[in-house]
Amino acid sequence: MSKILILNGSPRKKGNTFFLIQELSKIIIQNGHDVEILHLNDYDIKPCQGCFWCYKDFPLKCVQNDVMNGLYPSVLDSDVIIFASPIYWFNYSAQLKLFIDRLVALHVKGGHSLNGLKFASIFVYGDTTAQGSGVFTAIESIDHMIRYFLGENLGVVHGTGGDDLTVPDNPKLMNDLKRLAEKILA
């Protein structure tokens, strides 16, 4: 059994990003795997202070004793990490960025604890075109990080959402999500 960690960067629990997260989770759970969803907006995650305290003896925790020290075990325990976020100002949300920055604390001597892991992403935007939305900036940024982790990018699902819940009516997007699920389960 694999453990899939989904990082929800959307504050809207009835929004499009969370709908896609739930649909993906259902498929993964039905196939006997474990899913944990972190609603990043629910946590008071402080910004990384860039002090590199975490590099001294690699304690796998942060000198700022906030909620992140309690979330690191979930990250370290995962086989696949999925980044899910609305596009805010042509990139992924600040909620997700705060969390990702704090992953610096998971460095070990000569590398990073997440090296070799599998990753995937889900992005939703308001624009009618991917090009106009800025999603490619988010995709490039996440892809760069996965390369840094020497990881495997299982894929990206993205499409138009908006203020209303519209993704369920987008057959291509829902089909892309199923294909991503198959890759995660392969």
Ligand X SMILES: Cc1cc2nc3c(=O)[nH]c(=O)nc-3n(C[C@H](O)[C@H](O)[C@H](O)COP(=O)(O)O)c2cc1C
Footprint of ligand X (CB under 6 A): 10, 12, 15-17, 86-90, 124-127, 133-134, 161-163
Specify the residue, 134 or 151, whose C-beta has the smaller distance to ligand X.
134
Least separation, in Å, of the C-beta of 64 and ligand X? Answer: 26
The nearest distance, CB 15 to ligand X, in angstroms, is 3
CB nearer ligand X, residue 60 or residue 94? 94
Q: Give the residue with the Cβ less far from ligand X, 87 or 117.
A: 87
54 vs 84, beta carbon nearer ligand X: 84
> Which parts of the chain fold into alpha helices (H)?
16-30, 68-76, 94-101, 130-133, 135-148, 171-185
Shortest spacing between CB 124 and ligand X, in angstroms? 4
**Amino acid symbol at 12:** R
CA distance 6 to 174: 17
Q: Which residues contact 32 (CB under 8 A, 6 or more apart)?
A: 1
Q: Which is nearer to ligand X, 72 or 136 (CB)?
A: 136
The Cα angle at residue 46 between residues 111 and 102, in degrees rounded to 5: 10
Kind of pairing between the strands at 118-125 and 80-88: parallel
User: In Å, how far from its chain's centre is CA 17?
Assistant: 11
- Least distance from C-beta 173 to ligand X, angstroms? 11
Minimal distance, residue 67 CB to ligand X, in Å: 22
In angstroms, the CA 36 to CA 5 distance is: 5
